[in-house]
Structure 1
């Protein structure tokens, strides 16, 4: 996610582990190897960066638009 720097907000949750080298990023979502909520779609498709509440996020589980629906799944 990319937080807005001009707003007060709670601390963002971190994912355990370290980012992979730029030449070793996995297919699909680059966070899926260390994300506890990853599911099959995360391993093959990269989500777009979209508005999500007061910030932006690229995650299939973040509701961001009517097209993505309540669970971030394209209808």
Structure 2
């Protein structure tokens, strides 16, 4: 029994991931215009010198002061509430 080789889906300029063509489709689009949060820098604390390190996507995970590679993400200022049972 032979297996078919995997072929990744091709994305052309006029098609959406919903399987229809045209601009009237309201499904997910390949343009990625709704992902503004990925360019925002994230703040970390160095595990060695406690320096604040700001990293963007693609930056090396390393403290800019001492070169230590263990960084801890700072706690968010946004209120998060969990429901306990």
- TM-score by structure 2 length? 0.17
State which structure, 1 or 2, has the greater radius of gyration over its C-alpha atoms. Answer: 2
Greater relative contact order (Cα < 8 A, sep 6+): 1
